[in-house]
Structure 1
Amino acid sequence: MLSARFHFGLIGLLFALTAWAAPTGMTARAWVSIDAVTGRELAAHQADLPLAPASLTQLMTAYVLLGDIKKNKLSLGEMLSVPPAAEQVDGARVFLKAGEQISVDTLLQAMLVHSASDATLTLVTAADGSEAAFVERMNSEAKRLGMGKTRFMNATGLTEPGHESSARDLAILGRALVSDFANRQTFFTQKELVFKGITYYNANRLLWRDPAVNGLKVGRTAQAGYCSVASAQRGDQQRIAVVLGARSDALRTQDALKLLNDGFENFDSVLLYRARQPVKVVKLYRGISDSVALGFAQNLHVLIPHGSAARIKAQVITQQPVLAPVRKGQRMGSLRLTLDGKPLGEFALVALQGVSVAGIFGRAWDSIRLMVE
């Protein structure tokens, strides 16, 4: 598992990279870009400023609903009855009629392609009985994800006092959607929806401008301005960019593209070791085995300047001698990384298997070995 400890050199390196790589000519009120795998921030401006998120709110609505589908509380083919309130709701609509039976799949498409408030209200009412009850779950999930500047007052994104989020929080949410629901990403890449003979086009112009873009959503209200959470993948690299408070659709698209391009051109997310891959096998004393493999419980990725992977140096640090018993997952040392001689990070190494204590003769022999080695 990745250690929570990092060298101050790593922090300094990342701040330096951010300052060096920040794109010029940005016009939005707040913005941030991150690496989707590591979650590392690449560039930011007023990223913690609480702002109205418009229909980017529906990304959290989708996150909660997709979680319900994953837990079999809802199914995509399930037919839902449109509540009377959905006919009267403000915002974008697909003109649902009270009592109509519409599938969860179609309603999700309407929400994520067209930001349809009537579809959103139908979904959340079916899930929790009322929008208010559903919003409680949205706020609980926001807290769990660490979205500290976010407070949802509704599920649609309509302007309401106290309804706010931040660029950094929405990047966290975007990363969670990409990570937790990788099999549902077609909802976020869909360019159009035909419903009742009307074609609704996705307002996310990035889906047409850049084939690497694979979501996620755009929004707009008079208070929020033009907003976007964009995701793009090029090869094995994935970036997420959030733009809040842009002055026009064109500027929103321009700013998001700048952030994505900057992230791809200046940084690499590198997989150094896979989960449970032995990093080093160390000598073990007084155990039923004479060695134990050390590694990571999860994949170890690091974020580095573009093209610098070959210059990373690794050093395994353990406290000697290593004695049995050893528990699987027990911290046994650390991996210290440097880049061009500068600290890059230090990560905890754990035992990949447990090793119990040897019998009396084995322990006695190893005691002799320890004295002479």
Structure 2
Amino acid sequence: MIFKTKMYWSFAQAVLLAGASQLAIARDIIIPKPPQVAAKAYILIDAQTGHVLIEEQADSQLPPASLTKIMTSYIVSEEVARGDLSEQDKVYITDDAWRRGGTSSGGSTMFLKPRTEVEVIDLLRGVIIQSGNDASIALAQHIAGSEGAFADVMNQTATLLGMQNTHFKNATGWPAEGHLTTARDLALLAQATIYDHPDHYGLYAEQSFTYNGIKQDNRNSLLFRDSSVDGLKTGHTEAAGYCLVATADKEGMRLISVVLGTRSKEARAVESQKLLSYGFRYYSTHTAIKGQQPLLDERIWQGLNKQVSLGVIDDITLTIPRGASDKLEMVTTVDDTIKAPVAVGQPLGTLAITYDGETLYQGSLVALYDVEQSGFFARLWDSLMLFINGLLS
């Protein structure tokens, strides 16, 4: 990484930087145009940073079909995390859940038996792996009393997650007027599913689940083709077309792809694989700066210490082209006069990280530790020095 600050560079440093610049030119990074994707809408993001690599019609509202069940599962996981629900709790399967989501409904089903009790964890597998409408309705009724009330919880949760263009009418994704979402919103939901509930996220990678003597394979065919893929969910209705939210982890980078409205089961897998392959081939997730590590040591006046270390509290992680880590530029500015007392985390300057003229990060440089004021006479002396420096400058 190239550092730029307010300090003056020596001639030797200038020569080194010039040499580094020539080397960078010799190793220009080539990134081709994104692939053409046959879908009504799609997006590819870096799961860790949220950086969008590719998007097309990502904010167009479309029916999500069974991708809805990612939200249904997320809410169940939230209930378990809060302690309001246990994985071993028994859920009563109502006649309504069986009638609208069971064998005779014509939709995907877990093959639950009406008027039986089933553990939450089994129903969660039924929702995620088998895309069971019956399991989704049963969980919704158990948690909120009715599927309609559960839809209200879904919409409130969507708002909290920043899903600005989403509205749910049911827990299954069964076609309903106004039941819509977007590729971008689904990427946000997938991101929350992965990082908020890692204990349950592993269910999305399970390739099959057997219940009531019936084994069903996970409908996400990428799980069987690509070992880096470990989720998430498929969807299909006539109105929605064939949809897939997929995620994969490779060499420390996790990507999330969303494709909506493809023409077939095979197409949704192929188009998703195009996005994932492009992202992994040409980009990487890079920790540019470690948190808590000093970037600069600056003079502090009227303090028990003569210097204070500046840096960032948390790691700064960026999505960058592969091979570009040595071409990042870090530009820092520091307050002209820093006086004690200073508290850890107090902003004392700014930090910008750029690549090829584009600002990838901009934020504050902060104190990495507290600095207390010095005694009266020491402060008085520093005040005099500051006054003299002001006259001379």
| TM-score, scaled to structure 1 | 0.90
Shift of 1:20: 4.8
Residue 57 (structure 1) aligns with: 68
2:83 is aligned with 1:37: no
Equivalent position SS for 1:323: coil
Work out which of the residue numbers 367, 370, 374 in structure 2 matches 1:354: 370
Q: Distance in 2 between matches of 1:289 and 1:136?
A: 56
Work out which of the residue numbers 101, 104, 111 in structure 1 matches 2:127: 111
2:110 and 2:131 in contact (8 A); partners too? no
Paired AA for residue 108 in structure 2: A
Deviates more, 1:93-102 or 1:251-260: 93-102
Q: Deviations over 1:36-75 (max 9, x none)?
A: 1110100111111100000100111111111111111111
Shift of 1:277: 3.0
Residue 6 (structure 1) aligns with: none
Q: Distance in 2 between matches of 1:308 and 1:322?
A: 34
Shift of 1:240: 0.4
Greater Rg over alpha carbons, structure? 2
Superposition pairs of residues 1-373 of structure 1, within 5 angstroms: 20-24=32-36, 26-90=37-101, 91-340=107-356, 343-371=359-387
Number of aligned residues: 355
Q: Distance in 2 between matches of 1:20 and 1:169?
A: 27
Distance 1:328 1:230, change over 3 A: same
Q: Distance in 1 between matches of 2:354 and 2:237?
A: 46
Deviates more, 1:264-273 or 1:292-301: 292-301
Deviates more, 1:129-138 or 1:211-220: 129-138
1:56 and 1:157 in contact (8 A); partners too? yes
Q: Deviations over 1:92-149 (max 9, x none)?
A: 1122223211111100000001110111111121112111221111111111111111
Deviates more, 1:96-105 or 1:276-285: 276-285
Shift of 1:342: 5.6
1:21 and 1:42 in contact (8 A); partners too? no
2:289 and 2:315 in contact (8 A); partners too? yes
Q: Deviations over 1:224-243 (max 9, x none)?
A: 01001000000111100000
Distance 1:44 1:340, change over 3 A: closer
Q: Deviations over 1:133-189 (max 9, x none)?
A: 211111111111111110000011100000000111101111111121223221110
Q: Distance in 1 between matches of 2:140 and 2:340?
A: 54
2:257 and 2:272 in contact (8 A); partners too? yes
2:87 and 2:120 in contact (8 A); partners too? yes
Shift of 1:341: 6.0
Shift of 1:324: 1.6
Equivalent position SS for 1:229: strand
1:274 and 1:299 in contact (8 A); partners too? yes
Distance 1:279 1:180, change over 3 A: farther
Distance 1:278 1:136, change over 3 A: farther
1:294 and 1:351 in contact (8 A); partners too? yes
2:304 and 2:374 in contact (8 A); partners too? yes
1:280 and 1:316 in contact (8 A); partners too? no
Paired AA for residue 116 in structure 2: E
5+ residue gaps, structure 2, are: 1-28, 102-106
Q: Distance in 2 between matches of 1:180 and 1:277?
A: 27
Paired AA for residue 103 in structure 1: E
Q: Deviations over 1:273-292 (max 9, x none)?
A: 23333332322111233222
Distance 1:342 1:33, change over 3 A: closer
Shift of 1:371: 4.5
Q: Calculate percent identity across the aligned residue pairs.
A: 36
Q: Distance in 1 between matches of 2:247 and 2:221?
A: 13
Shift of 1:317: 1.2
Shift of 1:297: 3.0
Shift of 1:192: 0.2
Paired AA for residue 355 in structure 1: V
Residue 8 (structure 1) aligns with: none
| TM-score, scaled to structure 2 | 0.86
Shift of 1:213: 0.3
Distance 1:42 1:296, change over 3 A: same
Q: Distance in 2 between matches of 1:127 and 1:295?
A: 46
Paired AA for residue 63 in structure 1: Y
Q: Distance in 2 between matches of 1:299 and 1:143?
A: 27
Q: Distance in 1 between matches of 2:144 and 2:197?
A: 21
1:22 and 1:44 in contact (8 A); partners too? no
Shift of 1:343: 4.4
